[in-house]
Every structure is written in C-alpha cells, then in structure tokens.
Amino acid sequence: MVGWYTLTLVDYAIAGTAIIVSMVVLNKVLRWLGVNREAATGYALILPWLLGFLIWNLGPFIASFYFSLTEYGPLRSPRFIGLDNYVRMFRDDPNFWPVIRFTFLYSLFNVPLGLLGALFTATLLNQNVRGLGFWRTVYYLPAVLPAAATALLWRWLFARSGLINFILRPIYNLLDIEAPSWFTEPRLILPGYIIMGMWGVFGANTIILLAGLKNIPRDLYEAAILDGAGRVKRYLTITLPMLSPSLFYVLIMGIIGSFQAFTVAFFVDHSRRVGTFINVYIYEQAFGRLNGMGYAAALGWVALVIILLFTLLVFKSSPAWVYYEGERAG
C-alpha cells in the first residue's frame, strides 16, 4: 500500500530535479551560444512553462487531431480512417445533436443570467452598504463549496420529496399537478442545471464586478452630477462603460466554463438520454466504450471549434462595447 505513494514520490522528485537541472543547463548553453545574460536567464526561468506547453498542450493538441482521424481504443493501436469520425458524428450519431443542443441551451441561459444577476448584486453591494465584508463573504460562499457537493446538494433539493418541491407545493396545489422529481423529468433537467449553475458561480462573478465598480474614479460621478445627470443616466453612461472590461472578462470566462460543464453531471443522477453535456459525452465515448477514443477526439475538436467561435464572437464585438481607459495605473 505504501508503494503507491513511494512510486509517485520518486516520479515527483525526478521530475522536479529534471526541471531545475534543465533550467540551469539551458542558461549555461544559451550563454555559451552568445545570448546575452538577461535573455538567457529569462528563457531559463520560463522553461518549466515552455516544457509544459510542449508536453501538455501542443503535443497532445496535435496528437488529438491525429487520433480524431483514426479508430482507436485502449486495447489496439490507432487505425487511420480519414474523416469517417466527423461524417459519423454529423450524419449517423443520434446523440450528437441533442448533446450539442443541450450544452448550447445551458450556456445560452446560464451565462447571461449569471452575468446579469452578478451585475445586479454587485451594484447593490456598491451602494455604500453597511457590513460589506459580511455580505461579500455570504455571497462568495457557494463558489467555495466543491462542485461535487453543490451538485449532490441540489439533486437532493430537487428530489421529489426535496425542499424545492415543498416550497413550491402551494403552486402545485393551485395548478393541480403532482410534485415532479426535477432531474428525472426530461423537461426540467435543463432548468434544474441552470438554477444550480447560477447558484454556484454567482458569488465569484459578483466579487469580480464589485471590485471593478470600486475601481471607478469618484470624480467622474461628481462631474456628472454637476452636469445634472440622474441616477439612471449616470449608471448607463459612467458605470457600465467603466465596468465593461470586467464584464468582458466575466463573460469570456463564463462561456468557456459553461461549455465545459462536467463534474456536476456525475453527481446528478438523471436519465442519460436527455441532458448530457458535450464533455460528459466525450468522456463516455473515450473511456466507456471499447474503440471510442478516436471518435471522442473528433468530438473534442468540434467542441473546441464551438468554444472558439463563441469567444471569437465576443472578442470581435468587444470594440463596440468594451471601453479601455488608456494606460490607467493600477
């Protein structure tokens, strides 16, 4: 039993030593090649990342593209099949479109709702409220809870005899319907996930936006008041433009995060036919089937393209709404 830990400790020590030694060696070699002292040290210092980039990002990135053109499983070597995986995905896989649709719809609701909710809360907290530290702690709490615990908790809250149904019981009685079990009722899976997702990220976004609000110089508001601008006008013409870089950051991170929903799905037990996220589907294909690793790699590439398209869309639109105030200190 102790052997497991020792094995990893040895691996860990070897990798650590190798990194440090290679940094020293790189520095020496670059100096010997005539690179100036500062540049040689600089390259040596960023070497851990450079190696990591090659080994853990670029290499696997290229390899996964190759795998996506093959039939490949844990027990056999890859067999080249050209674009068959992609053709199969778009034409023959009955699960592909529902999975994309579900992931897309989840993001479509989750990202804007999370952003607007956080903006609203941050605005409230910026109204010079008493006990700001307390409120900030409270709102950030859900973001500290492990995603697994959050998912289990909400699964229980949404269960047939869970708390949500108890709270909603008057409404059910009024409409004369039976209390549903949210995560087993196909139509309620998406709203269930959206509510759960909002509860989880809400706090972190609120804190980021609040810090952005606190960074807006006071004198801008004072000038606007002298010009006779009302509360709403001040919010629209000063607060929002000045906050737009933070909003942009939260939006990008939100899109990337919600397209990659994964952990929660393993703690919410629901019918797998409806409501599978793309990442979960990729995992199931790669590790749940015998020869699915090539197909899973192809799915991964499609997921990457989708995420890139959306982030690119936001980036392209940013000059129209994100306002950078030159090189402001801080």
Partner 1 sequence: MATVEQVQPAVVAPTVVGRSRAGEIALRMLTYLLLIAGALIVFVPFAWMISTSLKAEQSLFLYPPEWIPRPPRWSNYVEAWRVLPFGRFLINTLFITTLAMVAEIFTASIVAYGFARYRFPLRNTLFILLLSTMMLPGILTIIPKFVMWRELGRIDTFSPLTVGAWFVWGPSFVFLLRQFFMTIPREIEEAAILDGANTFQVYWQIMLPLVKPALLAIAVLSFQANWNNFEGPLIYLNTLEKYPMILGLQFFGETLSKEAPKWHYMMAMSTMMAAPILALFFVAQRYFIEGIVVGGVKG
With CB under 8 A as the contact rule, the residue among 86, 96, 104, 140 that binds partner 1 is 140
With CB under 8 A as the contact rule, the residue among 25, 28, 61, 317 that binds partner 1 is 61
Cβ atoms of 102 and 276 closer than 8 Å: yes
Instruction: Check residue 223 for interaction with partner 1 (CB under 8 A).
Output: no
Hunting for tokens 């030159």 — which residue is that?
326
Residue closer to partner 1 by CB (options 96, 267) is 267
Cβ atoms of 288 and 280 closer than 8 Å: no
Instruction: Check residue 313 for interaction with partner 1 (CB under 8 A).
Output: no
With CB under 8 A as the contact rule, the residue among 82, 91, 127, 177 that binds partner 1 is 127
Q: How far is the CB of 140 from partner 1 (least distance, A)?
A: 7
With CB under 8 A as the contact rule, the residue among 113, 256, 274, 314 that binds partner 1 is 256
Q: What type of residue is 278?
A: I
User: 110: exposed, middle or buried (C-beta count within 10 Å: 0-12, 13-18, 19+)?
Assistant: buried
Instruction: Check residue 53 for interaction with partner 1 (CB under 8 A).
Output: yes
Region near partner 1 per CB under 8 A, out of 53-61, 79-87, 90-98, 108-116: 53-61
Region near partner 1 per CB under 8 A, out of 54-62, 92-100, 101-109, 181-189: 54-62
Instruction: Check residue 137 for interaction with partner 1 (CB under 8 A).
Output: yes
With CB under 8 A as the contact rule, the residue among 33, 75, 177, 226 that binds partner 1 is 226
Residue closer to partner 1 by CB (options 107, 121) is 121
Taking the CB of residue 287, how many other CB atoms lie within 10 A of it?
11
DSSP class per residue in 58-123: IHHHHHHHHHTTEEEETTEEEEE-TTHHHHHHHHT-TTHHHHHHHHHHHHHHHHHHHHHHHHHHHH
Cβ partners under 8 Å of residue 274, min gap 6 = 98, 102, 186, 189
